[in-house]
Amino acid sequence: MYLTKEEEKILAGEKGEVMERMFRLLVRLGDIYGADRMIPVRSVQVAGVSYKSIEDPGMEFLEDIAKKGAKVQAITFLNPAGMDMEDWKKMGIPPEFAKKQIRIMNAFAEMGIVTSATCTPYLAGNLPRFGEHIAWSESSAVSFANSVIGARTNREGGPSALAAALCGVTPRYGLHVPENRRPDFHIHVTAELKGSSDFGALGYHVGKIVKNKAPYFTGLPEADTDHLKALGAAMAASGAVALYHVEDQTPEARLHDPKGLEKVEVSVKDIAATYEKLNTGKKADIVIFGCPHASLREITEIAAKLKGKKVKRPLWVCTSRMVKECASRMGLVKAIEGAGATVVADTCMVVSPIEDIGYKTTGTSSGKAANYLPGFCKQSVMFRSVDDLIREVLQ
């Protein structure tokens, strides 16, 4: 892999120990995947933020490099933390967990990272443009950035994204290279899809089929950004899809022709079977919306559906701090909390320790959450539409 003179110096340790280690990691990745050179990144998103995921070794590593003066060179956002950084007591988070989560966030802040903790940075102030090279690690955000925006990122791991943030570059391979952005499968949808949970079910089903390849969809109804974020998140979770195209809807679709690709049809029966498969629980102890983090539009809809009602079991709506702030100004947080539900910022049902809080069955409208909750949080799952789940907590 070609390195500039400046890059050779970093590798020789001339910019300090941390930069050398981080740059070495990027070079190694580039060598493994056949990168030709490094390219500058304009935006980074780092996963591996929750204490639940990184525990003491991860926390100590971050504190160590922060203490040694590591600073990011591109705007860098964080994935959700393990708790609402302001209202963690209200969530029932154990104080020992909270203490360590705060230490992690302080270490990131010291490196100059924006401590927004969200999987939807594109809704919260970190919006790349079409064709821009970025290094993001949250799989649903990677899928959204590549597919809906047309930015270019591989599915980075937490360490490689952090290295890209500190060095300001990433190796050029994979989805940074135009030839690798072609579709591999033609997915024709004959099922009629009604809301985000249907898009999540479709994503779960297709992710299982295409694995880490790129699907090209035809037959999809006009989808809004919330539907596409649900679709991409589920495909990234059940498979490892980092890029998809939708005829007439995503920006690179017109560059490709699905003719000649392996064709798979998705019918109403496939969607129904996916709901069946993902439903492993009968009565939800808690219902959680906002996977990926809820948009203002989704929060507005939930607030309208809860108007004048009282929930009988906990209902969380997870979102970013920025969107919560705005929702608060619009009176939406008050409306939701007036119904006895909670708007939770900075975290989500998968990366917070909900199993330690005592929940056993979680209701979700997200195909991604339904995929992860059993393994990651020891939960049984009720996977339903938003309307069905609101009805569930009102009984």
Binding residues (CB under 6 A) for ligand F3S: these are 79-80, 119, 138, 140, 233, 291-293, 318, 348, 350-351, 368-369, 372
3-class secondary structure for 93-135? CCHHHHHHHHHHHHHHHHCCCEEEECCCHHHCCCCCCCCCECE
Quote the tokens at residue 177: 């290279």
Side chain identity, residue 395: Q
What is the C-alpha separation between 10 and 17, in angstroms, rounded?
A: 9
Contact of 366 with 200, CB cutoff 8 Å: yes
324 vs 368, beta carbon nearer ligand F3S = 368
Length of the chain: 395
Between 176 and 293, CB nearer to ligand F3S: 293
Give the shortest CB-278-to-ligand F3S separation in angstroms: 14
Residues 202/272, Cβ–Cβ less than 8 Å? no
Q: How many other C-beta atoms are found inside a 10 Å radius of the C-beta of residue 25?
A: 18
Q: Which of 27/389 has CB closer to ligand F3S?
A: 389
Residue nearer to ligand F3S on the CB measure, 61 or 376: 376
Nearer to ligand F3S, 173 or 383 (CB): 383
Q: Give min distance, CB of 383 to ligand F3S, in A.
A: 14
Sequence-separated (6 or more) residues with CB below 8 Å from residue 383: 197, 200, 201, 275, 278, 279, 363, 364, 365, 367, 370
CA distance 239 to 232: 10
The nearer residue to ligand F3S, 10 or 349, going by C-beta atoms, is: 349
Among residues 318 and 323, whose Cβ is nearest to ligand F3S? 318
Residue 295 CB, nearest distance to ligand F3S (Å)?
Answer: 12
Q: How far is the CB of 212 from ligand F3S (least distance, A)?
A: 18
d(CA 197, CA 208): 17
Least gap, CB of 318 to ligand F3S (angstroms):
6
Name the β-bridge partners of 345.
319
C-alpha count within 13 angstroms, C-beta hemisphere, residue 262? 7
Is the Cβ of residue 23 or residue 289 nearer to ligand F3S in the bound state?
A: 289
Kindly report the CA angle at 355 between 371 and 338, in degrees rounded to 5?
A: 90
Residue closest to 160 by CA, chosen among 47, 61, 57, 5: 47
Say if CB 361 and CB 381 are below 8 A apart. Answer: yes
Q: What is the DSSP letter of 316?
A: E
Question: Which of 80, 258 has the CB closer to ligand F3S?
Answer: 80
**Closest distance between ligand F3S and the C-beta of residue 325, in Å?**
18
**Closer of 189 and 345 to ligand F3S (Cβ):** 345
Q: How far is the CB of 125 from ligand F3S (least distance, A)?
A: 16
Residue among 269, 341, 355, 273 at smallest CA distance from 305: 341
What is the closest distance, in whole angstroms, from the C-beta atom of residue 366 to ligand F3S in the complex? 6
Question: How far apart are CB 223 and ligand F3S at their closest, in Å?
Answer: 17
The least CB distance from residue 233 to ligand F3S, in Å, is 5
